[in-house]
Structure 1
Amino acid sequence: MKPALRALAFLLQFATIGLAVAFVITRLWPDAGGWLRGDAPASADAPVAPAGSRSVGQVSYADAVAKAAPAVVSIYANKVITERQQVLYPDPVTQKLFGISVGPAYQRRQQSLGSGVIVGSDGYVLTNNHVIARSNDIQVLLSDGRFAAARLVGGDEDTDLAVLKIAATDLPTMKLTDSPTPAVGDVVLAIGNPFGFGKTVTMGVVSAVGRQLNQWTYEDFIQTDAAINVGNSGGALINAYGDLVGINTANLPQQYGAEGIGFAIPVATAKEVLDQIVAKGIVVRGWIGIEYGRVSVAANSGLPAAARGAQVYDVYPQSPAALAGLQPADIVLKFDGADILDAVDLRKREAATPPDTTVKIEGLRAGIAFEAQVTLVQRPVLNRQGQVPNP
């Protein structure tokens, strides 16, 4: 046999033996290939993401909806409005002489559409105050098809929340205490009765927290891109596990060029209002008697660009702040020893302080430090012009 053929036969025999050995090794030790390549061995103790962690997504949220939806109700609030018809004279000369004539008064019925959340087996329902404001007949449609007349227990215009009571049994409820604080990026579902279509679920994420619209006095909204339409107001905003995290309240309409910008009241705020209305019929808040907002930073003020605190815009006459000597343009830096981050922070601390409590306010007046002792009173009901109405 020629040397070249002998060499080729030797190589073929060697390759055949190598393949046979490799086959036997892989059969007896399946992980040997990864070990030879230098891969890390698989460990039985390797951590696995828990089912409830934020990093684990879900294919369906049907279980969450099934848990929460039965406690979401549709609200139909009726009110009677008295109007007078304006009559225009057909003759331009007569119209110029006598103007517009007012006809006889007539009444018409107006219905507001909204949603609500049953928060107690004894019949308490949370909704938005603007849904039922000035209504004289409120009807609640339950998930099982029953209608129930609702009684207004109390409303809070400052947070746009209201509490209703219905006389019905076997009510599904949602708890206000077991919900974790939502974080930006969490999946949320809005449940309500948009446009009267019936119970509807929309999905989105938490876009932001701590938002203000400057529409109500106390605002700490959850912003979401879950669709919130007319009729969703007062409905439930739940997380991916069916827990209530907010009460749907408002959206930015498309006429402003907005798309997917809705707002919900956090469940913590809703619980505070619910507890006080059920116990007292109203929400009691402390009040010092000033209007305030973001600190205006002038170039020569000596304050940092991101100045903390709240600047006094106006002082109500005869209010606790007026009696303590606070003045417009004062900058409040501390409230009862606590640093004030911004106007929202001051508003929360002021509201949480019981009436008849005396606190020390520290701040700056024309760049000079000052202190004042202020005894809070119960916050009065302010009119639409932000004034204390006459008794």
Structure 2
Amino acid sequence: MIKNILLASVLISAPVAAQETGFAPDAALPQDRIVPDSRAEVQLSFAPIVRDVTPAVVNVYSRRVVQNQHPFANDPVFSRMFRSQPQEQNSLGSGVIVDPSGVIVTNNHVVANATELRVVLADRREYEAEILLTDEATDLAVLRVNTDEPLPVLNYDMSGDIEVGDLVLAIGNPFGVGQTVTSGIVSALARTDVGRSDFGSFIQTDAAINPGNSGGALVDMDGELVGVNTMIFSRSGGSNGIGFAIPVEMVRRVVDTALGEGELIRPWLGARLQPVDNDLAQALGLDRPRGALVGEIYPDAAADDAGLQQGDVILAIDGRDINDESGARFRMATRAAGDAARFTVLRDNREVEVDVNVEAAPGNSDPLPFQPEGRNPFNGAGLVEMSPAFNERVGLDPFLDGVIVSGATRRSIAARFGFRPGDLVVEVMGQPVRDMDDFADLLSRHDGERVWPVVVERRGRRYETALQLY
């Protein structure tokens, strides 16, 4: 018993002894974050931080007009009696002032389709707001209010040193009750595959976030902005301690775009990535599962131009660990077009550094449909050549190529044969269709023929048929 007490006293006093003798076995461990060890420290207050940051968090009120669809509006008998009526809807959210001239960042879903926007500051001043930029892919929007005096702002925390377990404050207007502050910790970082954002790598927090908090600030203990609150995970509609915030790196990229470039570039790596699981890690000779394996490279895209190779394992981008394709997309999206991101890659059992330029996906995201003429089964249809840019916009695999049906005019030859939007034209007259040039050439050479063998892929199923013209 005495021996155990003595051993305990030695263990407890070991850090002090280490400092006195100069021997520091734990010197590599971070020493700047400590747990409160006294009643006085537990009773410390967040009030000084709150006083500094809350003036820069605003309430955002939006008004939109929607068509109230009556259940009988489409009925052939009662449609004249029950017509769709416009109805006003009001919604609320929060926002963060990031520039003293009156620039405010909030969520895109807070202001989507709004016909009127009003911003109320913490001191109850009200302003009409205009939209500078909205971006559905990141779920961010940038607003501006006209003011004759500089407004209080929240500074960005671009240090990148936020860690799981750090204390944070969430500030917003939950349920419209007024500005509210809640506290919690960072529960997780780089959460992907959640929410509405295409470039998501969210900060997860257990600070209470509720409807109305969207667009509000997530701040650290230095009173700086680390994220914009965007959504909660809830089955009841209230806070269950699982909230998500868009990291400040993406917030600043969107704001800088709104104030400068005006167009937010969708960076596209041009590589298909696969998370490294335990079995794959063993096969690759890794000490543990980490990184993302390059499985396929798109020709002449950013990855190909930079020299990335199939079989490379991307470990980090700009010094930040990468574990899946969503994480890589996020890191690329935080950079401006023309910048170069530094990739740390494992190749042939050694780490190499590769600079990858930030480029948009190749191709036209909104091409004009080609409309065939003449005597052929596609007369009356609109057809589009697929590209990574177009495919990403419509939600298709960016690596797919070929010609796809975008629509068909009513009572046209194409509509009569049953062509639908999304049909992929695989073969015509026994010849493969790789691009629009192939397709147009086949139609020209066989114009007027009566029987047209066609192969179409629809929702993953292949259909072969011989279409006859009369």
Question: TM-score by structure 1 length?
Answer: 0.67
* Residue 254 (1) aligns with residue 239 (2): no
Q: Give the Å deviation of 1:254.
A: 3.4
Amino acid at match of 2:98: V
Evaluate the alpha carbon distance shift between residue 124 and residue 337 of structure 1 in structure 2; reply closer, same or farther with a 3 A threshold.
Answer: closer
Evaluate the alpha carbon distance shift between residue 100 and residue 363 of structure 1 in structure 2; reply closer, same or farther with a 3 A threshold.
Answer: farther
Q: Give the Å deviation of 1:83.
A: 4.0
* Residue 149 (1) aligns with residue 128 (2): yes
* Residue 306 (1) aligns with residue 289 (2): yes
Amino acid at match of 1:82: Q
Q: Give the Å deviation of 1:282.
A: 2.4
Amino acid at match of 1:164: L
* Residue 342 (1) aligns with residue 324 (2): yes
Q: Give the Å deviation of 1:120.
A: 0.9
Evaluate the alpha carbon distance shift between residue 84 and residue 278 of structure 1 in structure 2; reply closer, same or farther with a 3 A threshold.
Answer: same
Evaluate the alpha carbon distance shift between residue 345 and residue 337 of structure 1 in structure 2; reply closer, same or farther with a 3 A threshold.
Answer: closer
Aligned to 1:118: 97
Residue 60 (structure 1) aligned to one of 27, 35, 45: 45
Evaluate the alpha carbon distance shift between residue 356 and residue 252 of structure 1 in structure 2; reply closer, same or farther with a 3 A threshold.
Answer: closer
Residue 189 (structure 2) aligned to one of 209, 229, 232: 209
Mark the structure with the bigger radius of gyration: 1
Q: Give the Å deviation of 1:134.
A: 2.0
Aligned to 1:105: 84
SS at match of 2:70: strand
- Contact 1:291/1:313 (8 A) holds in 2: yes
Aligned residues: 322
Q: Give the Å deviation of 1:136.
A: 2.1
Aligned to 1:190: 170
In structure 2, distance between residues paired with 1:190 and 1:146: 22
Q: Give the Å deviation of 1:308.
A: 3.5
SS at match of 1:272: helix
* Residue 265 (1) aligns with residue 246 (2): yes
- Contact 1:297/1:303 (8 A) holds in 2: no
* Residue 173 (1) aligns with residue 153 (2): yes
* Residue 199 (1) aligns with residue 157 (2): no
Residue 70 (structure 2) aligned to one of 85, 98, 109: 85
**Identity over aligned pairs, percent:** 35
- Contact 1:211/1:222 (8 A) holds in 2: yes
Amino acid at match of 1:149: E
CA deviations on 1:351-391 (whole Å, 9 max, x unpaired) are: 44746989999999xxxxxxxxx98742458446357898x
Q: Give the Å deviation of 1:161.
A: 1.5
Evaluate the alpha carbon distance shift between residue 55 and residue 259 of structure 1 in structure 2; reply closer, same or farther with a 3 A threshold.
Answer: same
Stretch of structure 1 that moved more, 340-349 or 159-168 = 340-349
- Contact 1:119/1:173 (8 A) holds in 2: yes
Question: TM-score by structure 2 length?
Answer: 0.57
Evaluate the alpha carbon distance shift between residue 383 and residue 65 of structure 1 in structure 2; reply closer, same or farther with a 3 A threshold.
Answer: same
Q: Give the Å deviation of 1:203.
A: 1.2
Aligned to 1:225: 206
In structure 1, distance between residues paired with 2:343 and 2:157: 33
Q: Give the Å deviation of 1:269.
A: 2.4
CA deviations on 1:305-360 (whole Å, 9 max, x unpaired) are: 83642465997xx9848999xxxxx6553599999653245324544474698999
Stretch of structure 1 that moved more, 302-311 or 114-123 = 302-311
In structure 2, distance between residues paired with 1:307 and 1:271: 28
In structure 2, distance between residues paired with 1:157 and 1:197: 27
* Residue 286 (1) aligns with residue 267 (2): yes
SS at match of 1:279: helix
CA deviations on 1:101-121 (whole Å, 9 max, x unpaired) are: 584232111222110011111
In structure 2, distance between residues paired with 1:357 and 1:179: 19
Evaluate the alpha carbon distance shift between residue 377 and residue 256 of structure 1 in structure 2; reply closer, same or farther with a 3 A threshold.
Answer: same
Q: Which has the higher contact order (CA 8 A, sep 6+)?
A: 1
In structure 2, distance between residues paired with 1:178 and 1:337: 16
CA deviations on 1:167-202 (whole Å, 9 max, x unpaired) are: 123411111147663222222111100010000111
Stretch of structure 1 that moved more, 287-296 or 162-171 = 287-296
Aligned to 1:76: 61
Residue 162 (structure 1) aligned to one of 133, 141, 155: 141
Amino acid at match of 1:132: V
SS at match of 2:71: strand
Aligned to 2:110: 131
SS at match of 1:287: coil
CA RMSD of aligned residues (A): 4.5
In structure 1, distance between residues paired with 2:237 and 2:159: 33
SS at match of 1:68: helix
Q: Give the Å deviation of 1:246.
A: 1.6
- Contact 1:126/1:234 (8 A) holds in 2: yes
- Contact 1:76/1:114 (8 A) holds in 2: yes
Aligned to 2:451: none
Q: Give the Å deviation of 1:238.
A: 1.5
